[in-house]
Amino acid sequence: MSASRVTIVVVTHNSADVAAQCLDSIERHAQGASTIVVDNASGDASVEIARARPLVRVIASAGNEGFSKANNRALREVATEFALVLNPDARLTATTIPELLAAALRSPRAAAFGPLTEHEDGAPQVSFGPDLSLLAERRQRRLVTGVKAGKPEAIAQWRTLAAEERAVDWISGSCMLLRMSAARAVGFFDERYFLYEEDADLCLRLRRAGHDVRFVPSARVIHALGTSMAKSSDRAREAYDQSHRLYYRLHRNVFERAVLEAVIAAKRLRRG
């Protein structure tokens, strides 16, 4: 399957330090794919970097509209069969698009496909997981922190989970191939999410509509995980909490919503 069947969507916000490498990887590994960059009112050179690429179309927003709304701006204009949502701090490899498209060919009922994401040095990242719930998130947090710390038992668990292509509940929006017919039918990302959890929400709605979400470890992406949080940690934490509240309000019961509020309050007290 050719990359010409894919439109790549990149949302930038003060992403000048990483955008050039991202766009370089697209030029190198996605020849034939259209690229749309939506810039959320960056105060740096993000727009100029994107506009310097002759094959990139730039949509410049008047303000920072958030991840969901910015992606939807581009997704509504996509005419290809597939769209690849890609973070500006992520870089394609030679395997990314060919392997994701091959998975789409094997699984015609699946609507979203996520690659294996790695750090620059090849260290693994956890880019998929179970539906968000209090218990599931506790287990997922233990796995993520263990993998990040390089704990042998966590790495072994991750390797088991990531050993083969399979259906999962959600995949990371840092790199997500969408079958446009299915994504369009559910309304793309929920624009009430400013940042975080919009990927888990979209995957849940796609599965409720009868589609699979698939993790494809043969497709590889390099992701500088955590750059957004590092640039504006207080704002990112606030967005994270708000998105959690929204997800639980939409998809979890009253008891779990109350417990989540207590957890958020306790975290804020610890941070002072």
- 3-state SS class at 214: strand
Average of per-residue pLDDT across 192-201: 97
CATH of the domain at 68: 3.90.550.10
pLDDT at 234: 79
- Give the pLDDT band (50/70/90) at residue 78: very high
> What integer pLDDT is reported at residue 235 of this predicted model?
82
Measure Cα distances from 176 to 86, 88, 139, 181 in Å.
7, 13, 23, 15
Number of domains in the chain: 1
* Model confidence pLDDT, tens digit, residues 226-246: 655 555 577 888 999 999 999
Question: What are the tokens at 137?
Answer: 């998130």
pTM: 0.95
Mean pLDDT of the chain: 95
Report pLDDT for 228: 53
What proportion of the chain, given as a percentage, has pLDDT over 90? 92
113-141 confidence digits (pLDDT tens): 999 999 999 999 999 999 999 999 999 99
Give residue 154's pLDDT.
97
| Overall average pLDDT of the 17-29 stretch | 98
Sign, Cα dihedral of 169, 175, 179, 182: positive
Q: Which residue range is the domain that position 122 belongs to?
A: 3-271
Average pLDDT of 30-57? Answer: 96
Helix (H/G/I), strand (E/B), else coil: 38: strand
